[in-house]
């Protein structure tokens, strides 16, 4: 499987709300999916958890899963629970940058996008395409 896209997502959870990869996995399994849809999840403290293996097709961006890796950061919504907001912590920003650099090194020529580039959604609540160009 040739990876040519790295797609950034948010968990669409409230600013400061700490959730685990296991919680996201349970949400996705309740939808009937085999596993979590993402390949990586970045926690509030910057820890990176592994979701699906890189060689397993994700379930994160309809029509673009076959040749992409999905990264989700925890957050993306104001404390009201519905208004999109870039809630990335300093630690998340640092981890995202490092993870993306590693993945681009493993998959030369891959381009970073935000989920919103492929769907009518605010996700990941910031312009990932410009930021990680």
Catalogue the active-site residues.
9, 38, 115, 121, 123
Structure tokens at 131: 């930021």
User: Are the C-beta atoms of residues 73 and 7 closer than 8 Å to each other?
Assistant: no
Structure tokens at 113: 């996008």
Alpha helices in 1-133 (DSSP H): 21-30, 90-106, 128-131
CA–CA separation, 24 and 118 (whole Å): 21
Structure tokens at 117: 């580039």
């Amino acid at each position: 499987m040739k990876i040519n896209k790295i797609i950034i997502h948010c968990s669409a959870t409230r600013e400061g709300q700490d959730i685990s990869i296991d919680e996201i996995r349970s949400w996705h399994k309740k939808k009937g999916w085999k596993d979590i849809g993402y390949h990586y999840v970045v926690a509030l403290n910057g820890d990176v958890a592994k979701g699906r293996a890189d060689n397993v097709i994700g379930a994160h961006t309809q029509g673009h899963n076959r040749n992409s890796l999905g990264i989700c950061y925890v957050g993306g919504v104001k404390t009201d629970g519905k208004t999109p907001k870039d809630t990335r912590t300093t630690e998340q920003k640092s981890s995202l940058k490092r993870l993306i650099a590693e993945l681009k090194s493993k998959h030369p020529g891959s381009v970073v996008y935000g989920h919103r580039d492929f769907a009518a959604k605010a996700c990941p609540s910031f312009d990932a395409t410009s930021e990680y160009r």
